[in-house]
Structure 1
Amino acid sequence: MNVLDMTGRTVLVTGAGQGVGRQVALHCAAHGAAVAVNDFHADRAEAVAAELAEAGAKAVGLPGDVTDLDGVTAMVAEAGRALGPVDVLVNNAGNAGPAEDPLSHTPPFWETGPEDWQPWIATNFYGVLNASRAVLPGMVERGYGRIVTVISDAGRTGEANLAVYGGAKAGAAGFCRGLAKAVGRHGITVNCVALSTIETPTIAPAIADPEVAKKMLRGYVVRRFGQPSDAANAVLFLASDAASWVTGQTYPVNGGYAITP
């Protein structure tokens, strides 16, 4: 028996136009799921959906902004019409939303204000609330669901230059723990995957300098940066019935960057 088989399931992955989200979509489709590909950028969402369809999977591209609850609710309804009710939500959209290079300038917290904090909090915290709120009524009614939220080790251990981002990610993890206790009796599990540095288009500028990359890697027990597939492997497990008795947990996928309880 393939415990990772997701045949008959519909998966919605937010922020799936590139990087980790794209790989999660590919992983789920390869294990039989129909996949709704969300991204803020319509061209990216459509490109990944087309890639999945070419490989033989059922897929649809759904552009949209996870910080807009009405928009997310409409997106979930559209996924249901195209592929069937959403069984699995992967909250992957993150960073500062659609900003291309949010890490290029990170001034000290005391030099920032609410206008700087809002994109981080809106995407990484409210985006998780919005998408979860949109899928849960259907999951509760059907008595089945999986919610997997991608957070960051910045939310577990803290990062000096990413305090607001880390706070938003920690908030998302706390929300998921509470939600897990609320919905477990309805056959719904809620978990998080905490990532450290993954080689994606977003992080590429930060590690382009070999000397900078070498210095960063000193903090990793496994001396390499993560790949999108490393993250997707963990998400797939938590999204599948292999993890049916796992809920309210945060799984670090970080190459040993932070080894904490």
Structure 2
Amino acid sequence: MQRENSAARTIVLTGAAGLLGRAIAEALVGAGHRLLLTDRGVDDLEAAANQLGGGKGAVAICATDLTSAEAPAKIEAAAAKAFGPVDMLINNAAFTAFAAWAEADQPNAWELETELVRTFFEINFIAQQALVRQFVPGMIERRWGRVVNLSCSYDTMQRLYPYGATKAALEAFTSAMEKQLAGTGVTAHTLNPGGPVFHPAHYAAHPNLTWVQPDIVNAPLLWLASDDSNGIPGRRWIGTRWLEGMEPMEALGRAAGPMNFLGFGAFALR
């Protein structure tokens, strides 16, 4: 089934009740998109939806634990009931290192309880993969779709274990998927804000870090949701490099790059 060209998309956004999720939702709804917000708590989701009441788009919610086996089908059913087929999946939900412990108190990698490591991977990688598996086949059938996985910088991948390791796995998965999606009309991307995203509690604990504002990822997301991004293969986007007022084609050269670990490929088998 060929999808009709439309300025408005149906978008699933995970982690929608947090500061970053709310900033993303505000931008997407303001642009006229139909948005299914999902997170754990129904009260937080309802508060986020009420905050978006003045937007031009439409909003629905689905409270669920992303690590449950039922979550992907439950989210798809909620989106279908509210709006119809899903055009775009934004995997924003994450269990962060800040949520687990103060950075100064981070234990050595070999000292971590295996169950805690498993929790990081269940939320930050397995749940994302399960949602992609749920939604991408329909996108391929309709010949249009976007998957955007929120990631982090390469130094964070090496510095903050196991959070960084989950994001490294997510990037490798997205890169492999993008190659396999070639020619389908569906593209997969990773999006790195470009620094730790401001949160009052985290800032209070780490005032000396350079924080970025939650809306830093909005410009690339709005562009990816549009037909202007058709034909552009998957990229690794960095929010802080997409400067205010920058034209998309200029941003493509400045804020985007290939999804791989540059510098390692040529030596992998030597």
TM-superposed CA distance for 1:114, in Å, is 1.1
Deviation readout 1:128-154 (Å, 9 max, x if unpaired): 10111111121122111011110111x
When residues 76 and 226 of structure 1 are mapped into structure 2, their CA distance, relative to the original with a 3 A threshold, is: same
C-alpha distance in 2 between matches for 1:92 and 1:107: 25
Normalising by structure 1, report the TM-score: 0.82
Q: Corresponding residue for 1:113?
A: 113
When residues 198 and 158 of structure 1 are mapped into structure 2, their CA distance, relative to the original with a 3 A threshold, is: closer
Listed as ranges, the gaps of 5+ residues in structure 1 are 218-224
C-alpha distance in 2 between matches for 1:192 and 1:147: 8
Deviation readout 1:28-77 (Å, 9 max, x if unpaired): 11111010001111111222222223434311011112222422222112
Number of corresponding residues: 238
Q: Which one is further off, 166-175 or 179-188?
A: 179-188
Does 2:213 match 1:227?
Answer: yes
1:175 to 170, 173, 176: 173
One-letter identity of the residue aligned with 2:165: G
Does 2:204 match 1:208?
Answer: yes
Q: Corresponding residue for 1:166?
A: 164
2:183 to 171, 175, 185: 185
When residues 103 and 247 of structure 1 are mapped into structure 2, their CA distance, relative to the original with a 3 A threshold, is: farther
C-alpha distance in 2 between matches for 1:167 and 1:113: 15
Q: Corresponding residue for 2:230?
A: 244
Q: Corresponding residue for 1:52?
A: 52
When residues 87 and 19 of structure 1 are mapped into structure 2, their CA distance, relative to the original with a 3 A threshold, is: same
RMSD between aligned residues: 2.5
TM-superposed CA distance for 1:255, in Å, is 6.9
Contact 2:98 2:202 in 1 (8 A): no
C-alpha distance in 1 between matches for 2:134 and 2:78: 12
Listed as ranges, the gaps of 5+ residues in structure 2 are 243-256, 263-270
Contact 1:103 1:206 in 2 (8 A): no
Does 2:100 match 1:102?
Answer: yes
Task: Give the fraction of aligned pairs with identical amino acids, expressed as a percent.
Answer: 26
One-letter identity of the residue aligned with 2:202: A
